């Protein structure tokens, strides 16, 4: 029974929610490294004849970057010229003709600063999500990981995504400024996440089908398939499933859930997964909630006492934050932690605690390396920006997580062939080790 798991096609949990820079043309750059090489923000109002004086809208933002931005040293080493970016932002705000233009200028500036935690905060209405498509970045390509069957044509794991809603995937990836995080892996995964969504998420007619152009893995044929969008209303945060009589999986979909509901679902999921070999899947966990992340970490790693090691911008020393008590621990004899660059924020902090447990084996790809806490700073009337003010290290160490992430014990990379067979690479890797085949 266990050996059958090695060939099991386990589709990863679907993703819901909005990524940092949706594939809607909101921020296209011809060349991020060239000053002024910006494409047009389609959300901005068309230029008129009247200009709006900006005053010193950038003053508070500049002061925050100088005094509180904990990543300024990292990005200075990467050649980021903060003063040049702020000067350009002032120029753009001085000739901005609408609130949309000013917001677009701030968005471009935060992108040029190159920090995924440094981003503009924008209000959004009810999100519509494409939960039927899971995309994985493999080298320069974007491959289908799995679908939920709602496409009107053939679409299978391993198929290469050529375009979404008429936008070429590789051209878009090369020309769009996405500032999702501090690690290369996270940047690629955020691009993949954006391909799971499209312009449909911001159009008034949100019921129109999303069109995905793919090259089939099996025969090389190129075809287009479409998917209808749906409202985001899934209240399930944690799910558990027994894959065999000995092996189960607990999948955390979201952390930003009601605390009581999260704790109850986690208990039920652990019971459903069984008590012998349990995989905790954090590869597509969304949302931030420190309390829920702490509950997750303590239950999977009951012996852990440190939640995080952090350093505020005003302090030169790291301090340990205690991990509170939290409900019944997971009873599995062996525990496996599945991670990927999609896991960031409090998900990544929970992963760091769990991975430090000597009884846990971490499998997959490094987490995002994007965990810093942020404060909000107003940039005039244009926008509110989150500025990273606290940096984190691995528990009981001074090894900074930012830009690094949590490194798995067993690194797993997916190939076209593996995905084309419908296999979940991380699940297969765990199954082979449980079966003693590796």
Residues 56-72 have pLDDT tens digits of 688 888 888 888 887 77
Does residue 216 have a pLDDT over 70? yes
Residues 160-171 have pLDDT tens digits of 999 887 878 877
- In this prediction, residue 363 carries a pLDDT of 96
Inter-residue contact 406 to 366 (CB < 8 Å) = yes
User: Residue 210 pairs with which residues in a beta bridge?
Assistant: 227
Nearest partner of 116 among 435, 382, 342, judged by Cα:
342
- In this prediction, residue 231 carries a pLDDT of 54
Whole-angstrom distance, CA of residue 302 vs CA of residue 323: 10
Q: Which residue has the higher pLDDT, 410 or 404?
A: 410
- In this prediction, residue 176 carries a pLDDT of 58
Does residue 18 have a pLDDT over 50? no
Given CA atoms 203, 377, 109, 370 in this order, what sign does their dihedral have? negative
Residues 234-276 have pLDDT tens digits of 568 999 999 998 999 999 988 988 999 999 999 999 999 988 9
Inter-residue contact 247 to 277 (CB < 8 Å) = yes
Mean pLDDT for the chain?
76
Residues 128-166 have pLDDT tens digits of 455 567 888 887 888 988 876 656 567 788 899 998 878
Question: What is the distance in angstroms between the CA of the first residue and the CA of the last residue of the chain?
Answer: 18
What is the percent of the chain where pLDDT is above 70?
A: 74
Ramachandran area for residue 166 (φ above 0: left; ψ -120 to 50: alpha; else beta): left
- In this prediction, residue 225 carries a pLDDT of 85
Does residue 197 have a pLDDT over 80? no
| SS3 readout for 327-383 | CCCCCCCEEEEEECCCCCCHHHHHHHHHHCCCCEEEEECCCCCCCCEEEEEEECCCE
- In this prediction, residue 135 carries a pLDDT of 87
Whole-angstrom distance, CA of residue 340 vs CA of residue 376: 28
Whole-angstrom distance, CA of residue 327 vs CA of residue 264: 10
Does residue 33 have a pLDDT over 50? no
- In this prediction, residue 261 carries a pLDDT of 93
Name, in order, each residue with C-beta under 8 angstroms of 377's C-beta and a sequence gap of 6 or more: 60, 61, 64, 384, 385, 386, 387
- In this prediction, residue 242 carries a pLDDT of 94
| SS3 readout for 94-147 | HCCCCHHHHHHHHHHHHHHCCCCCCEEECCCCCCEECCCEEEEEECCEEEEEEE
Instruction: Name the least confident of 105-109, 207-211, 265-269.
Output: 207-211
Residues 318-334 have pLDDT tens digits of 889 999 888 888 888 89
- In this prediction, residue 346 carries a pLDDT of 93
Does residue 353 have a pLDDT over 90? yes
Distance set, CA 19 to CA 167, 191, 201 (Å)? 17, 9, 11
The C-alpha angle 8, 131, 255, rounded to 5 degrees, equals 90
- In this prediction, residue 277 carries a pLDDT of 94
Inter-residue contact 249 to 308 (CB < 8 Å) = no
Residues 88-106 have pLDDT tens digits of 888 888 888 888 788 878 8
Nearest partner of 249 among 276, 284, 273, judged by Cα:
273
Inter-residue contact 210 to 234 (CB < 8 Å) = no
Q: Which residue has the higher pLDDT, 206 or 284?
A: 284
Helix (H) or strand (E) holding 271: helix 259-273
Does residue 282 have a pLDDT over 90? yes
- In this prediction, residue 218 carries a pLDDT of 82
Does residue 281 have a pLDDT over 70? yes
| Domains of the chain, earliest start first | 128-231 (2.30.42.10), 233-434 (3.90.226.10)
């Amino acid at each position: 029974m266990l050996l059958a798991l090695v060939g099991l096609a386990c589709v990863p949990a679907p993703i819901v929610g909005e990524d940092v820079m949706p594939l809607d043309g909101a921020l296209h750059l011809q060349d991020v490294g060239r000053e002024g090489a910006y494409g047009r923000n389609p959300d901005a109002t068309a230029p008129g004849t009247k200009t709006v004086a900006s005053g010193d809208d950038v003053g508070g933002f500049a002061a925050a970057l100088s005094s509180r931005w904990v990543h300024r040293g990292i990005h200075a080493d990467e050649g980021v010229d903060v003063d040049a970016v702020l000067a350009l932002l002032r120029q753009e705000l001085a000739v901005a003709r609408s609130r949309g233009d000013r917001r677009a200028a701030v968005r471009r500036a935060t992108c040029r600063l190159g920090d995924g935690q440094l981003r503009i905060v924008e209000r959004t209405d009810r999100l519509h999500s494409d939960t039927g498509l899971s995309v994985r970045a493999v080298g320069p390509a974007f491959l289908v990981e799995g679908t939920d069957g709602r496409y009107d044509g053939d679409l299978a794991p391993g198929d290469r995504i050529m375009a979404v809603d008429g936008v070429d995937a590789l051209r878009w990836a090369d020309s769009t400024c996405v500032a999702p995080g501090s690690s290369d892996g996270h940047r690629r995964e955020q691009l993949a996440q954006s391909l799971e969504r499209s312009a449909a998420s911001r159009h008034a007619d949100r019921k129109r089908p999303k069109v995905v152009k793919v090259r089939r893995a099996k025969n090389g044929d190129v075809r287009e398939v479409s998917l209808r969008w749906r409202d985001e209303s899934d209240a399930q945060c944690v799910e558990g499933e027994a894959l065999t009589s000995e092996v189960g999986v607990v999948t955390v979909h979201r952390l930003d859930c009601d605390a009581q509901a999260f704790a109850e679902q986690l208990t039920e999921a652990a019971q459903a997964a069984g008590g012998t070999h349990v995989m905790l899947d954090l590869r597509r966990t969304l949302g931030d909630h420190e309390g829920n992340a702490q509950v997750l970490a303590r239950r999977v790693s009951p012996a852990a006492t440190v939640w995080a090691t952090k350093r505020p911008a005003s302090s030169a020393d790291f301090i340990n934050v205690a991990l509170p008590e939290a409900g019944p621990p997971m009873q599995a004899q062996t525990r496996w932690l599945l991670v990927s660059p999609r896991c960031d924020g409090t998900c990544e902090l929970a992963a760091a605690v769990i991975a430090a447990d000597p009884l846990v084996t971490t499998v997959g790809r490094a987490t995002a390396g994007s965990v810093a806490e942020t404060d909000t700073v107003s940039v005039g009337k244009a926008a509110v920006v989150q500025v990273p003010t606290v940096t984190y290290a691995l528990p009981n160490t001074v090894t900074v997580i930012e830009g690094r992430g949590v490194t798995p014990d067993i690194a797993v990379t997916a190939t076209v062939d593996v995905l084309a067979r419908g296999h979940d690479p991380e699940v297969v890797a765990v199954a082979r080790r449980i079966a003693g085949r590796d």
